[in-house]
Chain A
């Protein structure tokens, strides 16, 4: 199977604190990887390094087998990696359409924006995601939306850009049951179209349900990896997690 992305022995420090210590992780085409670990295990740092927000102090990053130098967020997006960040990475005073196309605007020559095309696409995406309120259209400001609707905007952005790998950082936090189900449906759709998902969560049941493979992170290190085929219940995963965390 082709690797979409591979991190090899990546270390990241903040001041004197080592947030990631020689962590290695790969995601292959069409798989859903669940990244789990306690608070402070380094999940967010790992994700932000993977998607180019942080640059690693040591270690290598490979995209489809090719080593990448000077990794950054723009390069990650151009390589087909889209992220739904924990904080959703929205600009609340701006419209939905501006948020969906943030950083990847549809452009005419000389950098002018294809506004009509963007609005048309954004309205289509809003319907696809299933915003319920009729009061919402592409030009509504994001600040007027509920938490679930904002998550919808962040997901719409990832859908539009047809990413090969979608990284979801705690996507079900603060969502209703109905909204959580929508996120799961989205992940299954992505998988069906043979694209990949990296799913980060601390609700182990959520992660268990949708992942093909689990990666357990503890104190900045990848301490265990296991395929879903090798276990049969979320309780079993929980036990493995308890046994590995804090023992290395």
Chain B
């Protein structure tokens, strides 16, 4: 009996936060269903959500790794635009879009490495330093692009377009890639040395260091992963809309962060949940689109986003405080 109890309690220790965010998601769906059943059964509501979700997933899931490592990054919202800019500019100049894609992702990784190194080596606050980088990079983009957008209709005729963001019998391919990304990240976080070291480092970096884990290298890699995710999100969005906007990504800054925490990853490091974050993204995406769909004005969106963040925090509090 006692053994059963211990397995049950270990199960909740591991999965309670993910289950919590799944619970919120279900609750939200029920409220929508009761509150606006006619909007709910219209397929275009869910279609809009599913178009928005992949981008948010590419941004949010890597942030779970970073937050679990005990750091935070705001600069991803600008990295998103920088990578998209590199991609669009190269495509416009006749470079093969597949190569542009690789170079764009590489740009994201490089920015992540720079931000991470800056923060880790000089022991800066990641919140403040990445806020600085957020503005700095946005400024660079506005200056380089002269605040003009770049249209790249030419990607449509290249083979990567149908493969990455095309329609496969009415099914948007980016959803497929986002799903692959989630599965990959789930194993990467829970069953791979990289994810396990991130959890140790975020939990107690002194212990991790004493056990021979290179704490700085782990953190820099987590920043790089956030850069890669941001780059993928930015490039995908640019391909879908055939357009690079110098201001793109800014709107995702707070939404992606909200999705991480609503998803059940605590802010203090050491813990994180990929599955929870997926449902966190679902909650945020449905809030963004569902409020409009049920006929309320857009002003309510921010109000409900705020409310759900607070409710989620209170709910996850029930799951327990940080143990030391």
Contact = CB atoms under 8 A, between A and B. Distances in A.
B254 interface: no
B191 A113 contact: yes
B212 A139 contact: no
Contacts of B197: 103
Interface in A60-105: 72-77, 83, 85, 87-95, 98, 102-105
Interface stretch (B203-211, B257-265, B288-296, B304-312): B203-211
B270 A89 contact: no
A72 B199 CA distance: 21
A73 B210 contact: yes
Contacts of A134: 2-3, 6
Contacts of B187: 112
B270 A94 contact: yes
Nearest to B11: A139
Contact of A103 (B10, B14, B199, B213): B213
Interface stretch (A10-18, A140-148, A193-201, A209-217): A140-148
Interface residues of B, number: 34
B320 to A, nearest CB: 9
Contact of A93 (B194, B209, B270): B270
Interface in A83-140: 83, 85, 87-95, 98, 102-105, 107, 111-113, 115, 134-137, 139-140
B203 A93 contact: yes
Nearest to B13: A141
B2 A135 contact: yes
Given A73-B211, A102-B207, A103-B213, A95 B196 contact: no
Interface in B211-229: 211-214
B323 interface: yes
B322 A111 contact: no
A113 B212 contact: no
Contact of B212 (A74, A90, A137): A74
B276 to A, nearest CB: 15
Contacts of B146: none
Nearest to B323: A143
B271 interface: yes
B204 A91 contact: yes
Nearest to A139: B10
A105 B193 contact: yes
Contacts of A95: 10
A90 B197 CA distance: 13
Kindly list the 7 A-B residue pairs having the minimum CB-CB distance in the complex, ordered from nearest.
A143-B323, A74-B212, A91-B203, A103-B211, A73-B212, A89-B207, A111-B193
Given A104-B212, A134-B3, 14 more contacts: A73-B211, A74-B212, A74-B214, A89-B207, A92-B324, A93-B323, A94-B203, A112-B193, A115-B191, A136-B6, A139-B10, A140-B6, A140-B9, A140-B10
